[in-house]
Amino acid sequence: MMASKANILLVEDEENLHETLKLNLEMEGYEVSSAFNGTEALKKIANEYFDLIIMDIMLPEVDGIAVTESIRVNNNEVPILMLSAKNAGSDRVLGLKKGADDYLTKPFNLEELLLRVEKLINKNKKLQERETVGDTYEFGNNKVDFKAQDAITWNGQHIELSKKEAMLLKLLIENKGEVVTREKILQVVWGYNVYPTTRTIDNFILSFRKYFEEDSRHPRYFHSVRGVGYKYMD
């Protein structure tokens, strides 16, 4: 049994499966709220806090992909585990692209589902325990004001930051020492409507090096991890 009760929203329209999953999750010590269609799920998400959402793709009214997209557009970072009867790779890719954290194809092994649930909830807990950065942040001789969208660089130069520069900078700093994937950057900084190329994000990193690094060719703070994403180190 789990020590603290995590709150899970189960969105599944197939009644037998819904009951089975609800019962097993409750036996593991989770609090489970139910929704049987996409509209009901969106209402609950708007009014309650959940540690995890387990959601079928094929739902009446609003499907699971659209619900996931709506959750992420509203900057809600709740972990989402998607379930689908389809084994089509394109479905899986679309679900993950829209912001799902994990994916299981029906029929699945119950034990595997429970393990994935536990893993996603623990990962989310760790993320929430991470320090968030306030309105201002200093590193080296640089000082950034996220609210005012400006900075004083290591050589005393005053620069103005665009909204996206400020958002990307904050995202990297809040994940200090960890690689932030390109997908995560797209999700947080650009939202879903525009997909910039990797080069666009690279150019932002190059700008940060130019502003904040004493030697931009040998960066101390802003690093690219080829094929994966970007990392801030202090």
Pull the structure tokens for residue 82. Answer: 């998607």
Where residue 1 falls among pLDDT bands split at 50, 70, 90?
very low
| φ, ψ for residue 14, nearest 5 deg | -80, 110
148 has a pLDDT exceeding 70 = yes
**Domain 7-129 listed as CATH 3.40.190.290:** no
Residues 34 and 99: their CA atoms lie apart, in Å, by: 21
Q: Which of 126-130, 186-190, 216-220: highest mean pLDDT?
A: 216-220
Per-chain mean pLDDT for the chain: 88
Higher pLDDT, 194 or 107: 107
In the chain, residues under CATH classification 3.40.50.2300 are 7-129
The label of the residue with tokens 């180190």 reads 233
Give the whole-angstrom CA distance, residue 183 versus residue 99.
9
Q: What is the pLDDT of residues 45-56, one digit of tens each?
A: 988 889 999 999
Residue ranges matching CATH 1.10.10.10 in the chain: 136-232
Q: Give this prediction's pTM.
A: 0.58
The class that CATH gives domain 136-232 is mainly alpha
Q: Are 71 and 38 in contact (CB under 8 A)?
A: no
